[in-house]
């Protein structure tokens, strides 16, 4: 399943509220800034992935990445010529 930044933000906000924590408390606990938490909860698409993962871990959210079952040869990552 694909998730959008907005959906991840909504999840963070929902869990934080269920835990009874403020945005400021979550920011302090996860070692991020308050502005970052606000923007993450709003679904800002340019949020830093490392910080997003730190916040999710702080909230106890498990992230699972599942590669496709079969990767066509044309889709493999190879260095581009001429770069």
Question: Count of domains in the chain?
Answer: 1
Question: Residue 56: what pLDDT?
Answer: 95
The enclosing domain of 29 has a CATH number of 1.10.260.40
Q: Is residue 51 part of a domain?
A: yes
Q: Is residue 27 part of a domain?
A: yes
Question: Has residue 12 got a pLDDT over 90?
Answer: yes
Q: Is residue 73 part of a domain?
A: no
Question: Residue 8: what pLDDT?
Answer: 93
Question: Residue 51: what pLDDT?
Answer: 95
Per-residue pLDDT reduced to its tens digit, 19-77? 999 999 999 999 999 999 999 999 999 889 999 999 999 999 998 877 778 766 655 55
Query: Mapping DSSP to helix (H, G, I), strand (E, B) and coil, where does residue 8 land?
Result: helix
Q: Is residue 68 part of a domain?
A: no
What is the reported pTM?
0.74
């Amino acid at each position: 399943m694909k998730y959008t930044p907005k959906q991840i933000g909504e999840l963070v906000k929902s869990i934080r509220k269920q835990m009874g924590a403020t945005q400021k408390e979550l920011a302090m606990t996860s070692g991020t800034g308050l502005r970052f938490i606000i923007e993450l909860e709003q679904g800002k698409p340019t949020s830093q992935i490392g910080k997003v993962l730190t916040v999710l871990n702080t909230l106890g959210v498990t992230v699972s990445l599942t590669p496709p079952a079969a990767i066509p040869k044309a889709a493999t990552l190879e260095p581009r010529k001429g770069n």
